[in-house]
């Protein structure tokens, strides 16, 4: 009885999404996504990186940072909102005197694609001059966000600036930037979970999952 309901429901989903493209405007597709209850959408998402693998990757980066900055202090600057879960887990894997700060940007484009224009919406509150700054991001994709933040933070004259990205999608890079610490290199898939969102949803999934227009089929 339950399985018949599920099959019918997802065939309705499939026929509604058709082959329309996501746009910036509030499209009928987005409205439809918003109506699908959270558990129903997530049960069929493919896990790309499990919570156990995430924990291993985060621990490895924590060890690398602990080793690289032995005897020094660091400031972790998290890029809101996507990096908040990564930063909170990473911080507990760093055996150094570490402080936190946060920065927030907005990048223009559709919900899945950056258009290359990045705007600062919240600055750090800590002076960064002569400090070891580690910028902490959920994902390095086209590189526009990091290029923008790098220039902004370097202008504050830190002693060192490094970049930790939990995920890296090298195939989509449009700017010549790389992260110093990378958890996982992933293929060109749009992912959600562990801080990463689609239209602000799914950040609280414990695993990193592939989100696609077919999700739920």
Binding site for ligand IMP (CB under 6 A): 79, 82, 107, 114, 137-146, 190-192, 196-197
Q: Which is nearer to ligand IMP, 4 or 188 (CB)?
A: 188
Which of 89, 141, 168, 207 is labelled catalytic?
A: 141
Q: Closest separation between CB of residue 197 and Mg ion, Å?
A: 5
Q: Which is nearer to ligand IMP, 67 or 185 (CB)?
A: 185
Least Cα distance to 76 among 193, 56, 68, 84 occurs for 84
Query: What is the DSSP secondary-structure string of 26-59?
Result: --HHHHHHHHS-HHHHHTTSEEEE-HHHHHHHHH
The first and second tokens of residue 114, run together, are 């950056």
Write the DSSP symbol of residue 196: B
Q: Which is nearer to ligand IMP, 99 or 171 (CB)?
A: 171
Binding partner selected for residue 145 from Mg ion, ligand IMP, none, CB under the kind-specific 5 to 8 Å limit:
ligand IMP
CA separation for the pair 41, 118 (Å, rounded): 30
Residue least distant from Mg ion (Cβ): 82
Q: Closest separation between CB of residue 139 and Mg ion, Å?
A: 8
Q: Which is nearer to ligand IMP, 59 or 105 (CB)?
A: 105
Write the DSSP symbol of residue 77: E
Binding partner selected for residue 137 from Mg ion, ligand IMP, none, CB under the kind-specific 5 to 8 Å limit:
ligand IMP
- Interacting residue ranges for Mg ion, rule: CB under 5 A: 82
* 141 belongs to the catalytic site: yes
Residue 106 has a CB neighbour count (10 Å cut-off) of 11
- Within 47-138, residue ranges assigned H as helices are 51-68, 84-91
Catalytic positions are 141
């Amino acid at each position: 009885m339950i399985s018949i309901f599920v099959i019918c429901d997802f065939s309705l989903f499939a026929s509604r999404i058709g082959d329309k493209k996501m746009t910036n405007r509030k499209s009928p597709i987005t409205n439809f996504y918003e109506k699908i209850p959270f558990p129903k959408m997530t049960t069929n998402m493919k896990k790309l990186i499990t919570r156990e693998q995430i924990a291993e990757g985060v621990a490895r980066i924590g060890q690398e940072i602990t080793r690289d900055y032995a005897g020094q202090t660091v400031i972790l600057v998290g890029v809101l909102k996507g990096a908040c879960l990564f930063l909170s887990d990473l911080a507990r894997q760093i055996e150094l005197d570490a402080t936190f700060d946060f920065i927030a940007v907005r990048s223009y484009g559709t919900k899945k694609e950056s258009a290359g224009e990045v705007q600062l919406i919240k600055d750090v509150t800590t002076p960064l001059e002569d400090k070891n700054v580690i910028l902490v991001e959920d994902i390095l994709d086209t590189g526009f966000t990091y290029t923008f933040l790098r220039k902004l933070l370097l202008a504050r004259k830190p002693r060192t600036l490094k970049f930790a990205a939990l995920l890296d999608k090298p195939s989509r890079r449009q700017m010549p930037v790389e992260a110093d610490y990378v958890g996982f290199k992933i293929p060109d898939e749009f992912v959600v979970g562990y801080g990463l969102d689609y239209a602000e949803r799914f950040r609280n999934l414990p695993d990193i999952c592939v989100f696609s227009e077919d999700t739920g089929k």
